[in-house]
Amino acid sequence: DAGVIQSPRHEVTEMGQEVTLRCKPISGHNSLFWYRQTMMRGLELLIYFNNNVPIDDSGMPEDRFSAKMPNASFSTLKIQPSEPRDSAVYFCASRSRQTTEAFFGQGTRLTVV
């Protein structure tokens, strides 16, 4: 398996623009997580899906952030409109029911200028 695949790896956008981050979890994993990593706040859980259903979105910063999981093999995290303070590395992770191990993607480094 290729692991968790995220795209793009890097994204530079102007303030006010819409940004969409994509994630393909490991096949067979039923849990999917979106995390954000910054120097100031570390790794923060944004949203958790179980069997494609959002279970906990309490970490989503504002209404500008939204996440979807239309099927078991794809998820998106959208920021609209983007702001400079959204600049961070965004990670997607997936996990199967039978294990405690969450597998992380390579991340998307987002820069909003």
For binding to another protein (CB under 8 A), which residues are involved?
4, 31, 33, 42-43, 45, 48, 50, 55-56, 91, 93, 100-107
107: number of Cβ within 10 Å: 19
Whose structure tokens read 């405690």?
Answer: 100
Nearest distance, CB of residue 30 and another protein, angstroms = 11
Nearest distance, CB of residue 62 and another protein, angstroms = 20
The residue among 65 and 91 lying less far from another protein, judged by its C-beta, is 91
The residue among 66 and 106 lying less far from another protein, judged by its C-beta, is 106
Nearest distance, CB of residue 16 and another protein, angstroms = 28
Cβ atoms of residues 38 and 86 within 8 Å: no
Per-residue DSSP letter, 37: E
The residue among 38 and 80 lying less far from another protein, judged by its C-beta, is 38
Q: What is the rounded distance in angstroms from the CA atom of residue 82 to the CA atom of residue 72?
A: 27
Q: Which two tokens stand for residue 55?
A: 């279970």
Q: What is the rounded distance in angstroms from the CA atom of residue 44 to the CA atom of residue 71?
A: 24
The residue among 56 and 83 lying less far from another protein, judged by its C-beta, is 56
